[in-house]
Amino acid sequence: MRRLGLPRLLISFFLGFFARTEKRSQRRGVGSCARMLVLHAPRQLAIMPKVGFLSLGCPKNLVDSEVMMGILSQHGYEMTPRADEADVLIVNTCSFIAPAQQESVDTILEMAEHKVYGRAKRLVVTGCLVERYREQILEQIPAVDAVIGTGELEKIVEAVEGRARCGEAAEADGAKLPDTPPHRATDRAHAPGASLHASPDLRVLDSGALDSGALDLRALDARVALPTFLYHDATPRVLATPRHAAYIKIAEGCDHPCTFCIIPQLRGKFRSRRFESVVREAANLAAAGVREITLIGQDTTSYGEDLDLRDGLAQLLERLAGVAGLDWVRFLYAYPNRVTQRLLDTLAEHARLVKYLDMPLQHASRKLLARMKRGSSGEAFLRLLERARKTVPGLMLRTSFIVGFPGETESDFRELCDFVRAAEFDWMGVFAYSDVDNAGSYTLDAKLDTDVIAERRDYLMALQRPVSARRLRRFVGQELPAIVDGPSTESELVWEARLEGMAPEIDGKVYLSDLEPADAAGRRGRAAQAGDMVTVEIMESHDYDLVGRVIEVTESAPVAELSVVSAARRISTGAALRVLA
C-alpha cells in the first residue's frame, strides 16, 4: 500500500492553525517541556511495582529522569507511560523560573490525585524544585512521600521503596507497597509537625494554591550541601527519546555568576565528566542504534576546564566525529566568551558535526549585560557571529534573550531590537524576566511591571518571526539531508523530519508530504521510517517550518546487534539502556 504524508495544502493549513495557537508560540519561545515518559519496559519474570515518570523542564532534567529510570529498571521495576497504571509516580521538577515552578507544583498536585482516587501508593518528587523547597514540599503537600534532589539520583530506589539509607532492608515485597512506610528517605517522617499517617487530602490545595499563598514555598537556607552527583558511562539509563536520538550530559553545575540564575544553587559547582567516559557512552549509544547525539550541560563550552583540558569541547567533538554509527553530533548551550576559533574550526572540519550553534546571549545592551554579570556587548556579539558564519559555511544559529530585566529602559530594549534585526538568527527564544528570591537580581532596583515585560516579549518574538521566515525561504527548491523523526506530536497524520540545523524539540521541523521516494520511471520505493536518513526536496517554507517530500532514503534506521540489545535488556553492561517494546 502506498504510504503518503498529508497533502501539501492540508499541511499548510495545519501549520497556519498551529502558528496562531499559544501552544505553538510557547514551542518557539520558552515553553517548558512536560512529558509523561512514553516507555515500554522489558517484561519481568516476577511481578514488580509499576513506576510512572513525568519529566518537566530541559533536556538536562530529562537525562536525570533517564538515569533514575535506568536505576529502577536495574532493580526490576517496570516502567509505564500511564499514570493510572502506576503504583509509584515520580515527578522530576523544574524550578528555573516562576512559570516552571508553578507548572511543577500543578503537576505534583495533579499526580497526587492518583493517590486519592487511583492506584498509586507512593508519590516521589525529584529535581530542582526539591533543591529549593525540600522541607516545604513535605510539610505542605501531604501526598508526597519522598523527595530526591538533583545530587541524589542514586537514592531513587530507596525513595520508591521507603528506605531511609543505602543497605537498609526494603519494606516493599514484590508488587506490594506499604501505604504508610515506616521509613522514608528525606520524607515526611523527618519534617517537623508532620504526621506519619497524614491523609493525602488535597482539598486544601488546588491548582491556584501557589498564587493564593496556600502553598508557602519559602527558600531554604544553606543547610543542604550543594549537589555533587555526576553520572558516567556505566550508569544505567532508560532512554525516553526516539530510538535514533539521545542526549549526553557532558558536565553538570555552573560557576558563572549570572545574577538572574540560580543553577549553581540547584545543581552545584561546574564539573566535567571524564573524556573517555563520554566517548564510551557515545559508542554504546551508536551500537544500540542511536545515530544523532546532542551534548548538553549548563555550559558545554567550559567542558574540560576543571580537568585541565584546553579547548576541551573541541577535542571531545573531534573524537566523537570518529565514532562509528553516528551521523549527527551537536551541542547546546554555548557561552559566548568560550566560543574559540578552534571550536569553530572543528565544527567546519568534520561532516558529522552539524553546522549549528546554540548560544544564549541574554541581551545586547552593555549596561544590562553588566547588571547580569555576563559582560560583553551587542557589538562584540555581532563580530563573533560574523566570524562564526565565515568559519562555518551554512551555520544555523539559535539564541535566547531575557526581556524586562531590572533596569531595562526603553533605550536598552530598542538596542536589543536593533541587534536582533542585525544578527538575523535562524531560531530565537525569549524569556520574560521573573524574580527568583535567591537570585542576585532579586535585590536589584528599577523593576519593571509584568505587563510591560510581557509586551516586550511579544514584540521581540513578533520581530523575529519574519527573520526566521526569510532565513528558511532560502531552502525552497533545494534537496537536503534530513533525519525522519516519525509522526508529529501535534498530529499523527503528519510526519516530521529535521535538517541538521534543527535541534530536537526546540527548533522548526520539515513536515513531509510524501514518504515514498520514486525513481525516474515513477516506481515507488520503501516508505521512509522513523530514524532513516533521507534526502528531502523542500517544497514550501513557513514562519518556522518547512514542507518537503522524501526523494531518497540514503540510510535506513539502524538495527542494533542482538548481543547489544540483549545486554541492554539485562542491564549488565555500561551501555545506555533502551527500553524495548
* Mean pLDDT score, 264-292: 93
pLDDT for 6: 52
Same domain, 117 and 129: yes
DSSP alpha helix (H) spans, 321-357: 341-349
pLDDT at 507 over 90: yes
Specify whether 326 is located in the same domain as 452: yes
Which residues neighbour 18 within 8 Å (Cβ) at sequence distance 6 or greater? 24, 490
pLDDT score, position 14: 46
For residue 180, pLDDT beyond 70: no
For the cut 70, the answer to whether the pLDDT of residue 581 exceeds it is no
Higher per-residue confidence, 181 vs 560: 560
Work out the number of other CB atoms within 10 angstroms of the CB of residue 581.
Answer: 8
CATH number of the domain bearing residue 486? 2.40.50.140
Task: Write the CATH number for 63.
Answer: 3.40.50.12160
How many CB atoms within 10 Å of residue 360? 18
User: Amino acid letter at 13?
Assistant: F
When pLDDT is averaged across residues 55-64 and rounded to a whole number, the result is: 92
Is the same domain home to 437 and 289?
Answer: yes
Does residue 83 sit in the same domain as residue 126?
A: yes
Residue with more model confidence, 175 or 392: 392
Q: Give the tens place of pLDDT for each residue, 228-263.
A: 888 889 999 999 999 999 999 999 999 899 999 888
Which pLDDT tens digit goes with each residue over 304-320? Answer: 999 999 999 999 999 99
Which of 472, 490, 521 is where one domain is finished? 472
Domain assignment of residue 114, yes or no: yes
pLDDT score recorded for residue 421? 97
Q: How many domains does the chain have?
A: 3
Please give the backbone phi and psi of residue 509, each rounded to the nearest 5 degrees, phi first. -130, 165
Assess whether 48 and 147 both reside in one domain: yes
Mean pLDDT of 335-354: 97
User: Which pLDDT tens digit goes with each residue over 10-57?
Assistant: 455 445 544 544 334 333 333 333 444 544 344 444 578 899 999 998
Handedness of CA 38, 44, 50, 54 (dihedral sign): negative
Q: What 3-state class would DSSP assign to 53?
A: strand
Cβ–Cβ < 8 Å for 158, 100: no
Same domain, 89 and 203: yes
Per DSSP, what are the bridge partners of residue 553?
Answer: 534
Q: How far apart are CA 104 and CA 112, in angstroms?
A: 12
For the chain, give the percent of residues with pLDDT over 90. 58
Taking the C-alpha atoms of residue 383 and residue 254, their distance in angstroms, rounded to an integer, is 26
In this prediction, residue 292 carries a pLDDT of 97
Same structural domain for residues 491 and 429? no
- Residues 186-199 have pLDDT tens digits of 444 333 322 222 23
CA dist., res. 209 & res. 203, Å (int):
11
One domain, residues 380 and 415: yes
Residue 577 lies in a domain: no
| Residues forming a β-bridge with 428 | 399
Q: If pLDDT is split at 50, 70 and 90, which confidence band does 95 have?
A: confident
Q: How confident is the model at residue 8 (pLDDT cuts 50, 70, 90)?
A: low
State whether 389 and 329 are in the same domain.
Answer: yes
Domain stops at, among 456, 472, 488: 472
* Residue finishing a domain among 472, 491, 518: 472
From the list 344, 354, 356, the residue with the least C-alpha distance to 320 is 354
Condensed to tens digits (0 to 9), the pLDDT of residues 81-92 reads 889 899 999 999
Best CA proximity match to 199, nearest among 120, 144, 260: 144
Calpha distance 199→189 (Å, rounded): 14
With respect to residue 19, please indicate whether it lies within any of the assigned structural domains.
no
In the numeric block, the cell 518574538 is attached to: 461
Q: Residue 331: which of 124, 4, 59 has the closest Cα? A: 59
CB 308 within 8 A of CB 340: no
Q: What is the pLDDT of residue 218?
A: 36
Question: Hey, how many other C-beta atoms are within 10 angstroms of the C-beta on 519?
Answer: 10
On whether residue 229 sits in a domain, the answer given is: no
CA dihedral sign of residues 412, 417, 423, 427: positive
Q: pLDDT, tens digit, for every residue of 453-502?
A: 999 999 999 999 999 999 999 999 999 999 999 998 777 778 999 999 99
Query: Which SS3 state, helix, strand or coil, does residue 234 take?
Result: coil
Q: Mean pLDDT across the chain, nearest whole number? A: 80
Give the CATH number of the domain where residue 376 resides.
Answer: 3.80.30.20
Does some domain include residue 572?
Answer: no
Question: In this predicted model, what pLDDT tens digit does every residue of 148-165 receive, in sequence order?
Answer: 998 889 999 999 988 633
How far is residue 116's CA from residue 218's CA, in Å, rounded to a whole number?
A: 26
Cell of 274: 571524564
Residue 43 domain-assigned?
A: yes
**Does any domain span residue 117?**
yes
Q: Do 270 and 172 have their domain in common?
A: no
User: Which structural domain, as residue segments, surrounds residue 151?
Assistant: 32-223
Question: Is 398 a residue whose pLDDT tops 50?
Answer: yes
pLDDT score recorded for residue 166: 31
Same domain, 81 and 116: yes
Tell me the mean pLDDT in the region 422-449. 92
Answer whether residue 215 is part of any domain. Answer: yes
Identify whether residues 404 and 481 lie together within a single domain.
no
Query: Which residue stretches of 365-441 are H helix?
Result: 366-371, 378-391, 410-423
